[in-house]
Amino acid sequence: MFDFLKTRKAPPASTEKPTSWAQRLKAGLTKTRAVLATPFTALFARHTRIDAALYDELEELLITADCGVAATEYILTALKLRVKRERIEDSADLRLALRDILIDLLRPLEAPLDVTAHKPFVIMLAGVNGAGKTTPIGKLAKHYQEQGLTVLLAAGDTFRAAAREQLAVWGERNQVEVIGGASQDPAAVIFDAIQAARARNIDVVLADTAGRLPTQMHLMDEIRKVRRVIEKADPTAPHEVLLVLDANTGQNAVTQTQAFNEAIGVTGLVLTKLDGTAKGGVIAALARQNPIPVRYIGVGETVDDLQPFHAHEFVDALFEEPQ
């Protein structure tokens, strides 16, 4: 009944000694910091007082970091009010005020995912082509295993053979079973995976789906069907619908979130590849326009480079230089 994919030998794990998550996060946000936090400090080398010219330059920095117009207006308005209320004149105090405003803006996105509320806890993952869903799935499998949970992977991307092979590699690496089929309907694959998980008393099912653009209406209809079939397999599922976003896309991430949320009811976001972009400010745009919880952020290729999002540590990493 269940088609378990054959796995091939996983590549050897890196022998390099890992750094702490805080250090990796700081290093991963280097490019965004270079267009936002570092120039912000340099503003005070050119301005002896807090005035309109300083605010104009700060607005440009926020837009350059892809914070978006709505979030930028919110941040500047809040900053001006705080400067007036607290009579801020010192550059260090202004920097602290900006940091606090960003934390307050992002804090609603901070909502760690609890996967123990159901068994199996079914997580459906979606995203556009090239967003990189498969790698986060493998990392999430490892993350949940480290919590003492059992995991099963559903290879619901039946269009791309490489996706199934990638899942097979992660399955081998994490010693996790992968269910899939090259020619099967994606909804049927995930349905079988949920049945298998129930039969084997598995804690978490991670269900991959094929990448698709929101403008491909027939593929958006298909992913709606996948969700309906999951609901037939378990009326309480999916218990989480994660949308994987590539931070490199900047403001397009906002549009993608809106489209997928309308189609399948997104309950959480995974923001990946923050280490490869200067557009990390898009998280502020998401907070202002689509305040869906950011469950995880990714800043690298290793298995530990995907971690739960915390607003305070994100902003601290953005404003601090790596040690």
Look at residue 51 and tell me if it is in a domain.
yes
The candidate with the shortest Cα–Cα distance to 277, out of 247, 244, 245, is 247
Please give the share of the chain, as a percent, with pLDDT higher than 70.
92
Look at residue 292 and tell me if it is in a domain.
yes
Q: How confident is the model at residue 174 (pLDDT cuts 50, 70, 90)?
A: confident
DSSP state of 4: B
Look at residue 16 and tell me if it is in a domain.
no
Task: Determine the structural domain holding residue 123 and report its residue range.
Answer: 1-9+21-323
Is the predicted pLDDT of residue 13 greater than 70, yes or no? no
- Interval 282-323: pLDDT, tens: 999 999 999 999 999 998 888 888 999 999 999 999 887 544
pLDDT, position 321: 54
pLDDT, position 21: 85
Is the predicted pLDDT of residue 183 greater than 70, yes or no? no
pLDDT, position 12: 45
Q: How many CB atoms lie within 10 A of CB 218?
A: 7
- Between CA 242 and CA 231, with CA 208 as vertex, the angle to 5 degrees is 70
Strand 306-308 and strand 294-298: the pairing is antiparallel
**What mean pLDDT comes out for the span 89-107?**
91
Give the CATH number, domain containing residue 161: 3.40.50.300
Q: How many domains does the chain have?
A: 1
pLDDT, position 1: 47
pLDDT, position 199: 96
Using omega within 30 degrees of 0 as the cis cutoff, is the peptide bond preceding 186 cis? no
- Interval 253-270: pLDDT, tens: 999 999 999 999 999 999
Q: Quote the pTM value.
A: 0.89
Distance, in Å, from the CA atom of 48 to the CA atom of 30, rounded to the nearest integer, reads: 27
Task: Provide the mean pLDDT of the chain.
Answer: 88
Distance, in Å, from the CA atom of 156 to the CA atom of 144, rounded to the nearest integer, reads: 20
**What mean pLDDT comes out for the span 8-22?**
55
Q: Where are the alpha helices (DSSP H) in 87-205?
A: 91-106, 134-145, 161-174, 186-199
Answer whether 240's CB lies under 8 Å from 117's CB: no
Look at residue 312 and tell me if it is in a domain.
yes
Look at residue 14 and tell me if it is in a domain.
no
Distance, in Å, from the CA atom of 153 to the CA atom of 145, rounded to the nearest integer, reads: 12
- Interval 121-168: pLDDT, tens: 999 999 998 777 888 998 999 999 999 999 999 998 887 767 778 888
- Interval 195-232: pLDDT, tens: 999 999 999 999 999 889 898 999 999 999 999 999 99
Place of tokens 């009811």: 265
Q: What burial letters (b/e) apply to 232-257, b meaning 16+ CB within 10 Å?
A: ebbeebbbbbbbbbbbbbbbbbbebb
Look at residue 101 and tell me if it is in a domain.
yes
**What mean pLDDT comes out for the span 85-110?**
92
Is the predicted pLDDT of residue 35 greater than 80, yes or no? yes
